[in-house]
Amino acid sequence: MTYPVASPVAVTGMGVACGLGYGKAAFAKGLFETPNVFGVLRREGREQPEDETPFIGVELPDEPETLPPRLARTTTFPARVALRVLEEAWADAGLEEVDPERIGLVVGGTNLMAREQALAASRYADRLAYVPPRHGHMFLDTDIAGLCAANFPIRGFTLTVGAASASGAVAVIEAMRAIRCGDIDICIALGALQDLSAYDLHAMRSLGAMGSERFADDPGRACRPMDADHDGFLYGEACAALVLTRENFATPGKIYGHLLGAGHVADGSRGPEPDTQGQQRAAELALDEADLTAADIDYVNGHATSTPAGDEAELETYRALGLTHARINATKSIIGHGLSAAGAIEIAAVLAQIAEGRLHPTRNLETPLDPGFGWVGPEAVPHRIRHALKFSFGFGGIDTALVIAAPEDGEGRKS
């Protein structure tokens, strides 16, 4: 297969929120210090009866509200976090002087407000006549993009995309494409916070996707991507915004890295089952677009959820692509699975590691399922990333891969 080399896109701003805290500084610090942030989920609407195995995962730390109260009362939790993360990314990239009509926004994620919608449904079940009119728009996924554009001068377009756990990555891919097609110069990709309800958590556990029965009494050990004792993914609240910029478009923001190529394919699965052939195809498309081969990849940030079937299929993908020479870690081991936000915040993790010149540890990777790879285990390792490969997969047969280059390696190898 040969494809024309597509122009790279630079990342010039970031904003993040996860269990490690709000902001890039807390994120970078936490990625390398790897404090345990896993515990029993306590947010209203996620409670479990005493006699049932508690849900383990990661929740954002409480922060003082910064929005005006009049606005705050009309917004959902994912929307408030999105505004905060966007504010950080916006300031970081220095977008004040950019023509608003040349700025777009792609929000990744669907069914984002499930927890608060479930709470509202039960609160108003016996008095439907008095359902607040506001509920007619505030639980729409598109409310996040609307709120962002109402509070920041984004006048190119807004778009909300759904790709299950690959939503954040697909938001980045769609933002890249929007810049390449020429309609805009700046596109913000935002992986929104997926606010799960107890109902969703039960369903994910029943489906066999979510852990952890095995480490119910030891939450810090529950999330173990690529480890022999893994028993399912662990949810982690997260949100991240990346400011993508046309190459050579002058903005004050520093360049964190370049997106050289992307692959996004359908593998034909309907449900949660992974498909290694689809994953490989996504990686090959991304590498082709970047004009690189697997041999040029020195670092892989896995999708690596900690589910037995998912981790095994992904290992097969690494083997088939020939990635045994590359260093590999799993960001979910530190912050949990952000679902709709995962792809975006994990790309932020790749960029943070490029900036640090180190690779973050993989928590709980004690017995690698396949020791034949260059795992980053419990200790961070010095490593200058040149070309990273980032995987993100979603239920419904969605496979994505992105090739990310360090600021000084923005050109594809053969171009």
Partner 1 sequence: MDSTQIAEMIIAEIRETVPELAGETMTAADSMAELGVDSIERSEIILATMEKLNLKIPMVQLHGPKNIGELADLLLSKSAG
Residue ranges in contact with partner 1 by CB under 8 A:
68-70, 73-74, 127, 129-130, 132-134
Give the Cα separation of 230 and 104 in Å (integer).
39
Helices (DSSP H) in 221-292: which residue ranges?
A: 276-290
Sign of the CA dihedral running 194, 174, 88, 158:
negative
Q: How far is the CB of 80 from partner 1 (least distance, A)?
A: 15
Q: How far is the CB of 128 from partner 1 (least distance, A)?
A: 10
If the CB atoms of residues 97 and 126 are measured against partner 1, the closer one turns out to be 126
Helix axes 142-151, 77-93, angle to 10 degrees: 40
Q: How far is the CB of 158 from partner 1 (least distance, A)?
A: 20
Q: How far is the CB of 124 from partner 1 (least distance, A)?
A: 10
If the CB atoms of residues 106 and 138 are measured against partner 1, the closer one turns out to be 138
If the CB atoms of residues 71 and 320 are measured against partner 1, the closer one turns out to be 71
Q: How far is the CB of 71 from partner 1 (least distance, A)?
A: 10
List all residues 6 or more positions away from 108 whose beta carbon is below 8 Å from its beta carbon: 160, 161, 162, 163, 167, 168, 169, 170, 171, 172, 189, 190, 191, 192, 340, 341, 343, 344
C-alpha to C-alpha distances, 22 to 63, 74, 85, 270, 333, nearest whole angstrom:
8, 22, 8, 35, 18
Q: How far is the CB of 72 from partner 1 (least distance, A)?
A: 9
If the CB atoms of residues 137 and 325 are measured against partner 1, the closer one turns out to be 137
Give the Cα separation of 245 and 237 in Å (integer).
27
Amino acid type, 66: T
Q: How far is the CB of 26 from partner 1 (least distance, A)?
A: 29
Across the strands, what pairs with 293?
none
Give the Cα separation of 308 and 316 in Å (integer).
13
If the CB atoms of residues 42 and 134 are measured against partner 1, the closer one turns out to be 134
If the CB atoms of residues 75 and 245 are measured against partner 1, the closer one turns out to be 75
C-alpha to C-alpha distances, 171 to 41, 156, 308, nearest whole angstrom:
27, 16, 27
If the CB atoms of residues 113 and 401 are measured against partner 1, the closer one turns out to be 113
